[in-house]
Amino acid sequence: MFRFKTKRVLSRLMYIYSGLLVASSFLSVHASEESNGTLQTTKLVQAQSEQGGLLSLSDVLTRARANDFRLKSLGIQAKAFEAEAKASDFLPDPTLFAAIQSLPTDTFEFDQEPMTQLRVGVRQMFPKGDTLSLREDINQEKVGLQTVKQEAYWIGRKQSIEKAWLEAWFWQQNIELISEDRVFLEQIHEFIQSLYEVGSKDQSDLIGAELELIKLEERLIKARRSFQKNLDSLNTLANETLTSTQLPKKLESFDTSTLTLAKSNDLVSSLQNHPKIRLINQKINIAKSKVNLTEQSLEPSYGVELSYGMRSGDNMDGSSRADFFSAGVSVQYPFFNRGQQSSQISAAKHRQAAIELERSEALEQARFTLKDLANQYDITRDQRVLYEEKILTTLGKQKHSAMHSYESDKGNFRIVSELFLKEQSAKVQRLRLLVNEQIILSRINYWLN
């Protein structure tokens, strides 16, 4: 009876062990094939129909842009400055006046004295120099400033969305890796349990296999939590609850053509068109216009007055008294506050110089950042290739050998467990490096795309 049971168990063991070997080989080959597939450079923008309802990066970006309140606010502010620009090109309102002049106080009769008149007129002041046109120019430049602000804000927002999507993709793939590892561990557990039933293995190995399954369950919980956290970030960035929670299995890779430019020595000219630099250039233009506007305070301002005086009564020769017409020009010249105005001009020029230094600093920081990112990308890519071509292959062979030794009672479960954990860690690290490559490319494209 015992021999019959032993034969049945051994037959079962051989079946399970064959399954383990096939699963181990499949997982190793699958990791290699996946790496080759995900590294093919594709267009970042893919048609949503091709994704079959999956949450693609292009879909998230489209929704986020459509729902972004900050972008809409900046657009409205641009319209406000445009309206102010139109309003600033008008002269100040004229002053209308009416007065009775030289009215005799003994009789208060309008026709008694020849100088008595009812005077009506208008006064018009003209702003100094080119004040009106400069104010219009400043507001027009502020319109352009808001437009560039929109671009600068969006590319920063886009980078945040790309990072959150890539992190979500990483944790989704991590969950799939854990599911594959779970199948392998369950087969190991069943294998050890079969050996335990015939007395070939002790209970510690069985408990060890159960413990590894529990640890794997904990990893799965953490991975799901991280995946949900990044999905929540995408919801926040998109300003809506995204209906799909499944990302494409194939990683959409960014264009690597900007890497060559990031490594070149002619970065400054390439960076001049970046919204962040254009934003500073726009601020410099506004500062220059403000300097010119402040300099107008040294110019005189003019005023014109026209009036008409109506008289009543007759002259001594019996003729009717003629009405009076008056015209005059007033000039306001800065005699006493010239020192104050010179100080204000100097302050405006200093502000312009400070913004120009800010531009130089931004260009240098961007140049060094791009050089650093290009180096990071090369190191990350080389490390990922090392994992795919050597580390994972070697660990797979070690695990395969350890399983052979364990099956023939020449090894122990601790070695199998350690190699399994190392392979787990290597798979995750390779996935981490793959995603980090795309995150670095996203940061490079922020500056050069």
Mean pLDDT of all residues in 237-245: 89
**Residue 115: pLDDT over 50:** yes
What pLDDT does residue 39 have? 37
Alpha-carbon span 355 to 192, nearest angstrom? 71
Q: Which is more confident, 41 or 306?
A: 306
C-beta separation of 330 from 303 below 8 A = yes
Alpha-carbon span 279 to 156, nearest angstrom? 13
Half-sphere exposure of 35 (CA within 13 A, CB side): 23
pLDDT in tens, 134-180: 999 999 999 999 999 999 999 999 999 999 999 999 999 999 999 88
What pLDDT does residue 317 have? 81
The domain segmentation of the chain, as residue ranges, is: 2-448
The set of residues, in sequence order, having a beta carbon less than 8 Å from that of 134 and lying 6+ positions away, is: 289, 292, 293, 296
Question: 20: closest CA among 445, 396, 415?
Answer: 396
CATH class of the domain defined by 2-448:
mainly alpha
Alpha-carbon span 437 to 388, nearest angstrom? 14
Question: 148: closest CA among 61, 78, 253?
Answer: 78
Helix/strand/coil for 111:
coil
Alpha-carbon span 279 to 81, nearest angstrom? 16
What pLDDT does residue 10 have? 45
Alpha-carbon span 286 to 348, nearest angstrom? 11
What is the amino acid identity at position 146? Q
pLDDT in tens, 286-329: 999 999 999 998 888 999 999 999 998 888 887 888 999 999 99
pTM of the model: 0.77
